[in-house]
Amino acid sequence: MPTRSGKADAPPRAERFRLHHLLAISDLKREDADHLLARAEPYVSFLEQKSKKLDALRGRTQINLFFESSTRTQASFELAGKRMGADVVNMSVRTSSVSKGETLIDTAATLNAMSPDLLVVRHPSSGAAALLARKVSCSVINAGDGQHEHPTQALLDAFTIRQRLGTLEGVEIAICGDVMHSRVARSNALLLTLLGASVRLVGPPTLMPADADRWGARVHHDMKSGIAGADVVMMLRLQTERMQGGYVPSAREFFWFYGLDEDKLKHAKPGALVMHPGPMNRGVEIDSAVADRVDVSLIERQVRMGVAIRMAVLEALAEHGANA
């Protein structure tokens, strides 16, 4: 175990994480989320040290199974695992067995035979991580399944905000853009609400899931009113193929009405923080002038916090699995 940083606001946590898998924020209770965030606290300062190697997961095997291309999430999980001392194997399945006709369950059986301890999965189909979790004996971490959830992204976002503002209680957070296709938005809306924040979802109706207002968030179709008075403005990525007239008429129209620029940001609370899960489309959902503002943009910090959160998640699940 690393030495605790001794942060005063870290709530006391149960000795052991309650769950065997991390599949969705919707599985978490408040204490589970608090547990993971508290566990990540000490790693923030640890990651600033010159030597960044721990041995909490020494001898454990972590497989990163990515059915969808990813640069930052995969690298983040790989680094997190390595820093905890695990043996990390990366598998990009897009190019291998799936194209040979192997089903997801066959792949799971094959991997299970290799006895990993931790399986990090990204898959283009919603529910794929949960399906895998039923077929393998190790812990499964959902690194993004279709349009469903991306729990570690939400955890790192919540963690980043809490680091900066000290709390999430009563914080006004606007999640803006392509909510419909965003697993980040789903996980964040659930987690941030769970942690006491107040969430608004902002985007055109074509990019808003049906009945999104029942998520416990308020829905806005106008950006300026949607971010009015917000403490945090979280932008989502709009994929290129969705800007061509299917969901929104064009990239230029989307930027004009929904892109975060200095002008729109003025409607948020003075000094409001700006976040983006990356990768950014500059000039589509966010203006470079805003994305690069060191005083309010947390975008780089989100990436940094991602490693700390994933170290905590890997550790918590491995600990659980050790005596399961």
Verify cis geometry, omega within 30 degrees of 0, for the bond prior to 279.
yes
Chosen residue from 94, 252, 289, 324 binding other proteins by CB under 8 A: 252
Report how far residue 132's alpha carbon sits from residue 120's, in angstroms, rounded to the nearest whole number: 10
| Cα gap 198→172, rounded to integer Å | 5
Nearer to other proteins, 248 or 318 (CB): 248
Least distance (Å) between residue 289 CB and other proteins: 21
For residues 267 and 248, what is the distance between their CA atoms, to the nearest angstrom?
A: 23
Smallest gap from Cβ 206 to other proteins, in A, equals: 5
Which of 318, 321, 316, 319 minimizes the C-alpha distance to 32?
316
Smallest distance from other proteins to CB 200, Å: 15
Structure tokens at 32: 């589970």
Q: Closer CB to other proteins, residue 196 or residue 205?
A: 205
Q: Would you say 137 or 250 has its CB closer to other proteins?
A: 250
If one asks whether residue 270 binds other proteins (CB under 8 A), the answer comes out as no
Of 248, 274, 299, 316, the one binding other proteins by CB under 8 A: 248
- Please choose, from the candidates 155, 114, 105, 122, the residue with its C-alpha nearest in 3D space to the C-alpha of residue 138: 114
Residues 169-208 that bind other proteins (CB under 8 A): 204-206
- Closest CB 256 distance from other proteins, rounded Å: 6
**Residue 164 or residue 221: which is nearer to other proteins going by CB?**
221
Looking at 52, 221, 301, 304, which residue binds other proteins (CB under 8 A)? 221
Instruction: List the one residue from 257, 269, 280, 304 that touches other proteins (CB under 8 A).
Output: 257
Of 213, 222, 263, 292, which lies in the binding site for other proteins, with binding defined by CB under 8 A? 222
Asked if 57 interacts with other proteins (CB under 8 A), we say no
**How many whole angstroms separate alpha carbon 28 and alpha carbon 320?**
15
Extract the tokens encoding 82: 């390595």
Does 218 sit near other proteins (CB under 8 A)? no
Query: The tokens 């491995």 sit on which residue?
Result: 318
For residue 263, state whether it binds other proteins (rule: CB under 8 A): no
d(CA 207, CA 228): 20
Count of positions on this chain that bind other proteins (CB under 8 A): 16
When asked if residue 239 is in the footprint of other proteins (CB under 8 A), the reply is no
Q: Which residues contact 97 (CB under 8 A, 6 or more apart)?
A: 106, 107, 110
Among candidate residues 295, 187, 170, 279, the one with its CA nearest the CA of residue 235: 279
Shortest distance, position 164 Cβ to other proteins, whole Å: 31
Tokens of 270: 């003075």
Token representation of residue 258: 């929904």
Contact positions toward other proteins, by CB under 8 A? 204-206, 221-222, 244-250, 252-253, 256-257
